[in-house]
A and B are shown apart, each in its own frame.
Chain A
């Protein structure tokens, strides 16, 4: 099982060059049954990452390009009247896939955004009185352009909380960029990828991620972090209990990727930037720090008990 996980990682690293940390975080998020928000400029490989992961994991892949005129029905699906049968027939929308890439989610209106987010939260959609379950595993990767770009609707904090992790791709380093520039077109490679896991294996891994042991000592550490964000005046508001749960779930999945059966403080520290960067907002002099630096500060401020 761990062998196939390693294969997944290796294969993903061949498509997205020089971003092993992002790949592992994305994978951890998926194993922890959370959803991923990638925030960065266009063209740094967000779509490639999502598509590549879907292929590698053998998941059905759907992409929804969010635009300002996107309607909830475009995401969820519609019932269409069939003249020959005289009945309405449901045409599922792109959300009915195991991996959904919601591209540039902040370009759509809040109405369309919330349709997606509610589906993410509840793992099911209710259309015209009928409740329909979404497939399992169900994994949403949303991408977002930085908010200062024109014509975007920034996701409110309450909605951001529904993403387990938010990561940034960042520019590739020189070596990776060289490989990218000199290599074959990524889309071609993605199309040729072989799945390294089947569904049952993936579900099993998700189950195992939930079973990774968490010791009281580690819970002390997580609670110390949560307490710190709530007591310290440098943040507008502290981390929610849901954030704590997300941190723990992600750390468990990370420990699984590290092939350990218990969570270590290092696992928490590894996922912590992804967990807090879209949840914590600094005030005063700390407001100038970017989210990575803010997370670093937080890690260094809390002693491991």
Chain B
């Protein structure tokens, strides 16, 4: 086997494996890299391949290592790791064309494993380039004596020819719900909101640039300080962390005195949790979900694929004016024992000095506003009495600190309260006309239940840093250094670039990745295939593929029998057509020299040129195959002839 072919195969496998290096166990990455380097060196120095028993040993040891690392050989992580290792090992027993063939097909197969981890546009482009390398290598394998450039050209043509098939498969392949490969528990592991809040958890999340979801409003978007995207509601406090707790008897929530509805479409990135995000308070939803007694939207299954839903919310409302005593009791829970005595004492003082609950809420907000609290991402650590430490010692915190302390104070003052987590605001992309809500927009606020008003949203963060609510995180923080670069004030062109890229990614998500069975049915019914079954879809798909292949076959068979003129001949025929235009058509049987003589007789001013051209053409077409230089020279002269 030739060296360039082996290098081509090495490059193919390398390109397939390289993106996996990020999540493969370090020792597997090192093993693969080492094997490939070894193979390259063996090829370079022309040494013999290692003995079979040695390869067997490495294989057994590697497999054992994978079993030890993952405790299984199946599933996404272990399976992919095993595949990558075996593909690399296959390089080591590359002896004849059959092995090379196996390797090319293997590369074509395992390239898909990259989509288990990322389905973004850059990944798709990278894998396209990888496919190009694989096909080029494959062409090399089939036809050894083709130079690199035409080889690449053939590969490109092959990939282009595959395009119609790809389109048919994409449009008509019956979709299944959820990730195709049926490993939902593995599907995506991404950062996102948790239903567990402790000091520091949101400020850590705020450093992530990752997109949580995208929203496009139908009509006028609400004000920024109304964009509270409701996530998990936390009831239970253990002195340090907030958790949802358990609702003993779920009751259907009741919203009254509603204002104007807001309609919007959310494209939620998979977050592997049950909840959906909607503006407070949600009313209608285009997909099935349960509205819990604390106004969360919950899916039956975890959201492990990108999910698109339309929703309607009311931003002005009264929620649960009649709350069940059981719920109100839950909303007064405090950690047992005597943790945070000073906070409890402060609350008792407020209770004693106020006439009603609303007064206490105002007092608390004024307290946060006046007592020198600082809104920061880098809050100092807190001790066992975390609320006391925060309220009276450190006085620095992020939204979770304020929400937590506020709810604690309210409960201590005997006002039912709870913590609500979610996202606030978002960034408007004026390229795609939609809002991007990132993990950095994660937020926590409070809800108190007031008689006659129901559950009322109170955002203590707004009392300390109103900019956070009105203008976003970067406007509210004085120490911006900890924020991701793009959350500070990047130059305008960079912002625009980012918006454009995100708009592109959004389109990709909506139309390529988001092309699920629902969209497929919608699209097909627009094509006139209404209420199509998946069997019929598969039939159409096969028929379409058959048709495309038949068309290609027909076209190629035709080409097999009618040889296309080469460049030189084409140039000559063009020249003849041009002369024919000036009244001197060449008869089909007329040889170049005869024709040139006839033209020369009729057009004496052209005589010398045309006779010379005809002689050159004859020499090129019928003569001993010559150099490219003469060919180029002829083409140039033929073009330059003024008829």
Picked from A264, A269, A299, A303, the residue with its CB within 8 Å of the CB of B622 is: A264
Contact across chains for A264 and B591 when beta carbons are under 8 A apart: yes
Instruction: Report how far A62 CA is from B65 CA in the complex, Å.
Output: 97
Tell me, yes or no, whether A215 is within 8 Å of chain B by CB. yes
Which residues on A sit within 8 Å (CB–CB) of B588?
A: 302-304
Contact across chains for A264 and B592 when beta carbons are under 8 A apart: yes
Instruction: Report how far A136 CA is from B179 CA in the complex, Å.
Output: 85
Contact across chains for A215 and B589 when beta carbons are under 8 A apart: no
Instruction: Report how far A5 CA is from B333 CA in the complex, Å.
Output: 121
| Residues of A in contact with B, size category | 10 to 19
Interface residues in A283-303 (C-beta closer than 8 Å to B)? 299-303
Which residues on A sit within 8 Å (CB–CB) of B625?
A: 215
Contact across chains for B591 and A265 when beta carbons are under 8 A apart: yes
Tell me, yes or no, whether B621 is within 8 Å of chain A by CB. yes
Tell me, yes or no, whether B619 is within 8 Å of chain A by CB. yes
Contact across chains for B587 and A266 when beta carbons are under 8 A apart: no
Contact across chains for A261 and B623 when beta carbons are under 8 A apart: yes
Tell me, yes or no, whether A213 is within 8 Å of chain B by CB. yes
Contact across chains for B624 and A213 when beta carbons are under 8 A apart: yes
Tell me, yes or no, whether B594 is within 8 Å of chain A by CB. yes
Tell me, yes or no, whether B628 is within 8 Å of chain A by CB. no
Which residues on B sit within 8 Å (CB–CB) of A261?
A: 623-624
Q: State how many angstroms separate the Cβ of A285 from the closest Cβ of chain B.
A: 21
Instruction: Report how far A302 CA is from B588 CA in the complex, Å.
Output: 7
Contact across chains for B622 and A265 when beta carbons are under 8 A apart: yes
Picked from B569, B587, B618, B624, the residue with its CB within 8 Å of the CB of A264 is: B618
Tell me, yes or no, whether B590 is within 8 Å of chain A by CB. yes
Tell me, yes or no, whether B593 is within 8 Å of chain A by CB. yes
Tell me, yes or no, whether A203 is within 8 Å of chain B by CB. no
Picked from A217, A263, A264, A303, the residue with its CB within 8 Å of the CB of B589 is: A303
Tell me, yes or no, whether A115 is within 8 Å of chain B by CB. no
Instruction: Report how far A213 CA is from B624 CA in the complex, Å.
Output: 6
Q: State how many angstroms separate the Cβ of B139 from the closest Cβ of chain A.
A: 24
Q: State how many angstroms separate the Cβ of A294 from the closest Cβ of chain B.
A: 15
Q: Given A302-B589, A304-B589, verify A215-B623 contact (CB < 8 Å).
A: yes
Interface residues in A246-305 (C-beta closer than 8 Å to B)? 261-266, 269, 299-305
Contact across chains for B619 and A269 when beta carbons are under 8 A apart: no
Contact across chains for B590 and A264 when beta carbons are under 8 A apart: no
Interface centre among B569, B589, B624 (most CB of A within 10 A): B589
Which residues on A sit within 8 Å (CB–CB) of B563?
A: 220, 305
Which residues on B sit within 8 Å (CB–CB) of A71?
A: none
Which residues on A sit within 8 Å (CB–CB) of B623?
A: 213, 215, 261-262
Q: State how many angstroms separate the Cβ of B329 from the closest Cβ of chain A.
A: 96
Which residues on B sit within 8 Å (CB–CB) of A265?
A: 591-592, 622
Instruction: Report how far A10 CA is from B379 CA in the complex, Å.
Output: 112
Interface residues in A164-193 (C-beta closer than 8 Å to B)? none
Contact with A along B552-574 (1 / 0, CB 8 A): 00000000000100000100000
Instruction: Report how far A266 CA is from B595 CA in the complex, Å.
Output: 10
Contact across chains for A266 and B589 when beta carbons are under 8 A apart: no
Count of A-B contacts judged by CB separation below 8 Å: 48
Which residues on B sit within 8 Å (CB–CB) of A226?
A: none
Contact with A along B501-539 (1 / 0, CB 8 A): 000000000000000000000000000000000000000
Which residues on B sit within 8 Å (CB–CB) of A263?
A: 622
Interface residues in B583-605 (C-beta closer than 8 Å to A)? 587-594
Interface residues in B617-637 (C-beta closer than 8 Å to A)? 618-619, 621-625
Contact across chains for B594 and A266 when beta carbons are under 8 A apart: yes
Q: State how many angstroms separate the Cβ of A48 from the closest Cβ of chain B.
A: 31
Which residues on B sit within 8 Å (CB–CB) of A217?
A: 569, 621-622
Instruction: Report how far A287 CA is from B270 CA in the complex, Å.
Output: 86
Instruction: Report how far A301 CA is from B588 CA in the complex, Å.
Output: 8
Q: State how many angstroms separate the Cβ of A269 from the closest Cβ of chain B.
A: 6
Instruction: Report how far A264 CA is from B593 CA in the complex, Å.
Output: 9
Q: Given A303-B589, A304-B589, verify A262-B624 contact (CB < 8 Å).
A: yes
Contact with A along B71-109 (1 / 0, CB 8 A): 000000000000000000000000000000000000000
Tell me, yes or no, whether A17 is within 8 Å of chain B by CB. no
Contact with A along B454-477 (1 / 0, CB 8 A): 000000000000000000000000
Contact across chains for A304 and B622 when beta carbons are under 8 A apart: no
Instruction: Report how far A266 CA is from B619 CA in the complex, Å.
Output: 13
Tell me, yes or no, whether A73 is within 8 Å of chain B by CB. no
Instruction: Report how far A301 CA is from B594 CA in the complex, Å.
Output: 16
Picked from A266, A300, A301, the residue with its CB within 8 Å of the CB of B591 is: A266
Instruction: Report how far A1 CA is from B621 CA in the complex, Å.
Output: 26
Tell me, yes or no, whether A218 is within 8 Å of chain B by CB. yes
Residue of A nearest to B617 (CB): A264
Instruction: Report how far A303 CA is from B565 CA in the complex, Å.
Output: 14
Residue of A nearest to B621 (CB): A217
Interface residues in B135-185 (C-beta closer than 8 Å to A)? none
Instruction: Report how far A60 CA is from B278 CA in the complex, Å.
Output: 112
Q: State how many angstroms separate the Cβ of A242 from the closest Cβ of chain B.
A: 23
Interface centre among A262, A300, A301, A304 (most CB of B within 10 A): A304
Instruction: Report how far A23 CA is from B58 CA in the complex, Å.
Output: 83
Contact across chains for A299 and B594 when beta carbons are under 8 A apart: no
Which residues on A sit within 8 Å (CB–CB) of B589?
A: 269, 299-304
Instruction: Report how far A21 CA is from B1 CA in the complex, Å.
Output: 58
Q: State how many angstroms separate the Cβ of A227 from the closest Cβ of chain B.
A: 13
Contact across chains for B591 and A262 when beta carbons are under 8 A apart: no
Residue of B nearest to A302 (CB): B589
Contact with B along A27-45 (1 / 0, CB 8 A): 0000000000000000000
Q: State how many angstroms separate the Cβ of A247 from the closest Cβ of chain B.
A: 15
Which residues on A sit within 8 Å (CB–CB) of B622?
A: 213, 215, 217-218, 262-265
Residue of B nearest to A299 (CB): B589
Which residues on A sit within 8 Å (CB–CB) of B593?
A: 264, 266
Instruction: Report how far A305 CA is from B625 CA in the complex, Å.
Output: 18
Which residues on B sit within 8 Å (CB–CB) of A303?
A: 588-589
Contact with B along A116-148 (1 / 0, CB 8 A): 000000000000000000000000000000000
Instruction: Report how far A301 CA is from B622 CA in the complex, Å.
Output: 21
Q: State how many angstroms separate the Cβ of A211 from the closest Cβ of chain B.
A: 11
Which residues on B sit within 8 Å (CB–CB) of A304?
A: 588-591
Q: State how many angstroms separate the Cβ of A58 from the closest Cβ of chain B.
A: 32
Picked from A218, A220, A300, the residue with its CB within 8 Å of the CB of B587 is: A300
Contact across chains for B621 and A215 when beta carbons are under 8 A apart: yes
Contact with A along B604-619 (1 / 0, CB 8 A): 0000000000000011
Instruction: Report how far A303 CA is from B569 CA in the complex, Å.
Output: 14
Q: State how many angstroms separate the Cβ of B634 from the closest Cβ of chain A.
A: 15
Instruction: Report how far A265 CA is from B593 CA in the complex, Å.
Output: 9
Q: State how many angstroms separate the Cβ of B624 from the closest Cβ of chain A.
A: 5
Interface residues in A214-234 (C-beta closer than 8 Å to B)? 215, 217-218, 220
Q: State how many angstroms separate the Cβ of B303 from the closest Cβ of chain A.
A: 65
Which residues on A sit within 8 Å (CB–CB) of B621?
A: 215, 217
Instruction: Report how far A269 CA is from B621 CA in the complex, Å.
Output: 17
Instruction: Report how far A73 CA is from B309 CA in the complex, Å.
Output: 108
Instruction: Report how far A11 CA is from B593 CA in the complex, Å.
Output: 27
Instruction: Report how far A118 CA is from B173 CA in the complex, Å.
Output: 74
Residue of B nearest to A300 (CB): B589
Residue of A nearest to B566 (CB): A217
Instruction: Report how far A304 CA is from B576 CA in the complex, Å.
Output: 13
Which residues on B sit within 8 Å (CB–CB) of A305?
A: 563
Residue of B nearest to A258 (CB): B593
Q: What would 4 more interface pairs be, CB under 8 Å, given A218-B622, A301-B589?
A: A213-B622, A215-B622, A262-B622, A266-B594
**Residue ranges of A at the interface with B (Cβ–Cβ < 8 Å):** 213, 215, 217-218, 220, 261-266, 269, 299-305
Closest 9 CB pairs of A and B: A303-B588, A265-B591, A266-B591, A262-B623, A215-B622, A213-B624, A264-B618, A262-B622, A264-B622
26 pairs of residues in contact across A and B, judged by CB atoms under 8 Å? A213-B622, A213-B623, A213-B624, A215-B621, A215-B623, A215-B625, A217-B569, A261-B623, A262-B618, A262-B619, A263-B622, A264-B591, A264-B592, A264-B618, A264-B622, A265-B622, A266-B591, A266-B592, A266-B593, A266-B594, A269-B589, A302-B589, A303-B589, A304-B588, A304-B589, A304-B590
